[in-house]
């Protein structure tokens, strides 16, 4: 039976037939690779995800981590999964060879990692956070910091976290209060509290490397005064051995709706529970220069947001495949045109409304996977395309798409999970089946790594207006190229292309109209409607790209399915953007004018 985590066939379609990742092997960075190494990574990822991540997905949800005041306890399967993952060398797959990596293209790495996210999104959070931490240190850490903290993470001995939010400052980082006092020996001592820190404490690794945003007293106010520090759970001696326990302690675990296998913590820094060097205060090491912490953190933001979108997509994908299998096996009812009770019941996939729910899921998850892998591929191009112009063009398009690749899958692959539950009927609402957990797990994704609302303001307030509108132009030009090819293909695809072009033209007009009055408050009031309209238009573009390839291929069930899903998206989904763009064009002030005391 084919996997119910992801579709290998679809990943191959997207990577090889559409994005043509094999072209990357002509670039120096990827010269050691070829199709066989890409395939081997995908196969290895599927195998380990299937053998060591999927089997404890339900168990780690049912038996969430506990804290007895001293230690965090988790089911042992998580540690075993991490050992296998690290042992296979997958964490460092994309890193530079000089840092122990294998220089795997990010697009292929993202497809491989999606297997782990589909199998067990909570356990996969540990390596994902660790990799984000490693990437940041590789980019901005000193050689000594890389040796001492990043390398052991690549080897799987240490794990990492990102400590941004505080109890009083979540999305609003300008209001963080964690202090970092400079010391005579060049280190800093940190005091403060960090909230929502995933993987903030556990016993899965020898050490935990926290990357912490804090303010050095006397620095500039607001986000311009934020610096970045390495705060390890255990100090590391010159020879790399574990030293004293640092003054960072777990205050408590958060008990979540989903993602339960990932510890999510409140951490206290510098409370004096431990006294490294004989006195309280968490020892921290400044990364890069003072007051540039947020900028460093944001250099990794594109990848982090692609990663969240990929996780949302993977959860949507596995829910889709499970509901598809259920619909094929579950007999219930008879065709509306022949209700003779003497005839056997038909599998529910024979009912048009069930196929509607499956088609919707297919169009969301395969569209989202296309967007995720396109963005990952753009990250590869932004780093390694042959000319400066190509790199800049890819980077600009990626910047524009980043809020969409984070938000669209988080919204619509969650909806896919809701439909997967619906296809299962009452069984889908029980814990006997997997889909209710996928829904709960996926519900995090519109919240973390920049909420839906934050992404909306990023898209409308920054990305589409960047460079005097160059951000939006980068997107509309690329879409225009696809529309042109669709026009040449003729027939139904030309029709899709015309519909897409109409939506794009309207978006350009509406964007200009929103910003014409130069009223930031009014322009951004309905930003999430804008994000959703542009998001649906972008996914329509992704579907037109997929349809162009499917239409040119020898017909079979796979390609017919692609064409039908594209048809569904253009007939059922893209038209949703009409009323959204009408609302935006009307400069509607309903939310803006509503007052707190009217509720």
Which positions lie near other proteins, rule CB under 8 A?
1, 32, 34, 36-37, 40-41, 44, 47-48, 84, 87-90, 92-93, 102, 104
State in angstroms the smallest separation of the CB of 40 from other proteins: 4
Q: Which is nearer to other proteins, 40 or 498 (CB)?
A: 40
Given a contact cutoff of 8 angstroms between Cβ atoms, the answer to whether 124 and 204 are in contact is no
- The CB density around residue 451, as the number of other CB atoms within 10 Å, is 17
Find the catalytic residue in 449, 532, 545, 573.
449
The full DSSP string for 107-132 is HHHHHHHHHHHHH-HHHHHHHHHHHH
Q: What CA–CA distance (Å, rounded) separates 360 from 203?
A: 41
- With the C-alpha atoms ordered 338, 340, 343, 345, is the resulting torsion angle positive or negative? positive
Question: Nearest-5° angle of CA 2, CA 365, CA 125?
Answer: 85
Q: Which two tokens stand for residue 163?
A: 């400590």
State in angstroms the smallest separation of the CB of 53 from other proteins: 13
Q: Which is nearer to other proteins, 86 or 476 (CB)?
A: 86
State in angstroms the smallest separation of the CB of 406 from other proteins: 27
Given a contact cutoff of 8 angstroms between Cβ atoms, the answer to whether 504 and 479 are in contact is yes
Q: Which is nearer to other proteins, 30 or 296 (CB)?
A: 30
Count of H-run helices and E-run strands, the chain: 21, 12
Q: What CA–CA distance (Å, rounded) separates 121 from 114?
A: 9
Q: Which is nearer to other proteins, 111 or 297 (CB)?
A: 111
State in angstroms the smallest separation of the CB of 38 from other proteins: 10
Q: Tell me how far CA of residue 578 lies from CA of 504, 505, 510, 534, 572, in angstroms.
A: 11, 12, 11, 11, 12
Q: Which is nearer to other proteins, 124 or 442 (CB)?
A: 124
State in angstroms the smallest separation of the CB of 28 from other proteins: 16
Q: What CA–CA distance (Å, rounded) separates 457 from 506?
A: 19
Q: What CA–CA distance (Å, rounded) separates 599 from 597?
A: 5
449 catalytically annotated:
yes
The full DSSP string for 469-501 is HHHHHHHHHHHHHHHHHHHHH-HHHHHHHHHHH
Question: What's the helix, strand, coil split of the chain in %, to 5?
Answer: 60, 10, 25
Q: Which is nearer to other proteins, 330 or 496 (CB)?
A: 330
Given a contact cutoff of 8 angstroms between Cβ atoms, the answer to whether 338 and 396 are in contact is no
State in angstroms the smallest separation of the CB of 535 from other proteins: 34
Given a contact cutoff of 8 angstroms between Cβ atoms, the answer to whether 168 and 175 are in contact is yes
Q: Which is nearer to other proteins, 282 or 376 (CB)?
A: 376
State in angstroms the smallest separation of the CB of 325 from other proteins: 14
Per the listing, tokens 């299937």 go with: 50
Given a contact cutoff of 8 angstroms between Cβ atoms, the answer to whether 59 and 52 are in contact is no
State in angstroms the smallest separation of the CB of 48 from other proteins: 6
Q: What CA–CA distance (Å, rounded) separates 231 from 189?
A: 9
- 195 membership: H or E segment, kind and range: strand 188-198
Q: What is the largest CA-CA distance in the chain?
A: 88
- HEC secondary structure over 220-254: CCHHHHEEEEEEECEEECCCCCEEEECCEEEEEEC
Q: Tell me how far CA of residue 159 lies from CA of 283, 375, 396, 579, in angstroms.
A: 18, 26, 32, 47
State in angstroms the smallest separation of the CB of 23 from other proteins: 19
State in angstroms the smallest separation of the CB of 287 from other proteins: 28
State in angstroms the smallest separation of the CB of 18 from other proteins: 22
For the chain, first and last CA: distance in Å?
A: 53
Q: Which is nearer to other proteins, 9 or 356 (CB)?
A: 9
Per the listing, tokens 């030293």 go with: 243
Q: What CA–CA distance (Å, rounded) separates 186 from 372?
A: 42
Q: Which is nearer to other proteins, 80 or 462 (CB)?
A: 80
Q: Which is nearer to other proteins, 1 or 337 (CB)?
A: 1
3-class state of residue 362 by DSSP: helix
Given a contact cutoff of 8 angstroms between Cβ atoms, the answer to whether 211 and 229 are in contact is yes
Q: Which is nearer to other proteins, 155 or 415 (CB)?
A: 155
Angle between helices 577-585 and 527-552 (to 10 degrees): 150
**Residue 100, Ramachandran bin (φ over 0: left; ψ between -120 and 50: alpha; else beta):** left
Active site residues: 449
């Amino acid at each position: 039976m084919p996997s119910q985590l992801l579709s290998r066939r679809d990943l191959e379609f997207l990577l090889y037939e559409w994005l043509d990742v094999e072209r990357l092997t002509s670039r120096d960075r990827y010269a050691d690779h070829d199709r066989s190494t890409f395939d081997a990574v995908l196969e290895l990822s599927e195998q380990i995800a299937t053998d060591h991540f999927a089997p404890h997905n339900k168990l780690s949800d049912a038996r969430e981590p506990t804290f007895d005041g001293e230690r965090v306890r988790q089911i042992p399967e998580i540690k075993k999964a991490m050992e296998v993952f690290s042992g296979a060398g997958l964490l460092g797959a994309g890193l530079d060879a000089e840092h122990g990596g294998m220089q795997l293209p990010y697009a292929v790495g993202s497809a491989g990692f999606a297997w782990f996210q589909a199998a067990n999104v909570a356990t996969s959070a540990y390596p994902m956070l660790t990799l984000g931490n490693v990437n940041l240190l590789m980019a901005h850490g000193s050689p000594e910091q890389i040796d001492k903290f990043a390398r052991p993470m690549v080897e799987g001995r240490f794990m990492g976290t990102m400590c941004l939010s505080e109890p009083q400052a979540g999305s609003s980082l300008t209001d963080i209060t964690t202090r970092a006092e400079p010391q005579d020996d060049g280190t800093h001592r940190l005091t403060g509290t960090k909230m929502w820190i995933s993987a903030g404490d556990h016993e899965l690794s020898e050490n935990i490397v926290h990357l912490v945003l804090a303010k050095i007293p006397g620095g500039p106010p607001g986000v311009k005064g934020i610096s970045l520090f390495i705060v390890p759970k255990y100090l590391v001696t010159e020879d790399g051995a574990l030293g004293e326990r640092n003054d960072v302690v777990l205050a408590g675990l958060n008990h979540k709706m989903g993602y339960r296998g990932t510890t999510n913590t409140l951490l206290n820094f510098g409370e004096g529970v431990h006294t490294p060097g004989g006195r309280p205060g968490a020892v921290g090491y400044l990364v890069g220069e003072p007051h540039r912490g947020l900028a460093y953190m944001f250099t990794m933001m594109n990848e982090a947001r692609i990663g969240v979108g990929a996780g949302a997509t993977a959860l949507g994908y596995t829910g889709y495949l499970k509901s598809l299998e259920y619909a094929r096996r579950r007999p219930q009812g008879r065709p509306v045109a022949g209700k003779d009770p003497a005839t056997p019941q038909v599998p529910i996939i024979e009912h048009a409304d069930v196929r509607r729910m499956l088609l919707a899921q297919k169009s969301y998850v395969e569209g989202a996977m296309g967007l995720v892998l396109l963005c990952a591929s753009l990250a590869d191009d932004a780093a390694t395309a042959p000319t400066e112009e190509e790199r800049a063009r890819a980077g600009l398009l990626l910047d524009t798409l980043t809020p969409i690749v984070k938000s669209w899958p988080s919204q619509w692959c969650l909806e896919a999970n809701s439909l997967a539950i619906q296809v299962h009927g009452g069984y889908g609402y029980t814990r006997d089946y997997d889909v209710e957990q996928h829904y709960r797990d996926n519900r995090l994704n519109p919240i973390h790594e920049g909420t839906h609302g934050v992404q909306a303001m990023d898209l409308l307030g920054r990305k589409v207006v960047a460079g005097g509108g160059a951000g939006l132009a980068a997107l509309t030009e690329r879409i225009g190229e696809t529309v042109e090819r669709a026009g040449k293909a003729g027939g139904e695809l030309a029709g899709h292309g015309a519909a897409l072009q109409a939506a794009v033209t309207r978006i350009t007009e509406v964007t200009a109209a929103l910003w014409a009055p130069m009223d930031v408050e009014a322009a951004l009031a309905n930003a999430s409607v804008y994000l959703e309209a542009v998001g649906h238009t972008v996914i329509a573009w992704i579907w037109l790209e997929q349809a162009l390839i499917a239409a040119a291929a020898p017909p079979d069930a796979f390609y017919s399915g692609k064409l039908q899903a594209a048809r569904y998206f253009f007939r059922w989904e893209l038209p949703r953007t009409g009323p959204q763009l009408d609302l935006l064009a009307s400069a509607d002030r309903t939310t803006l004018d509503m007052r707190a005391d009217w509720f």
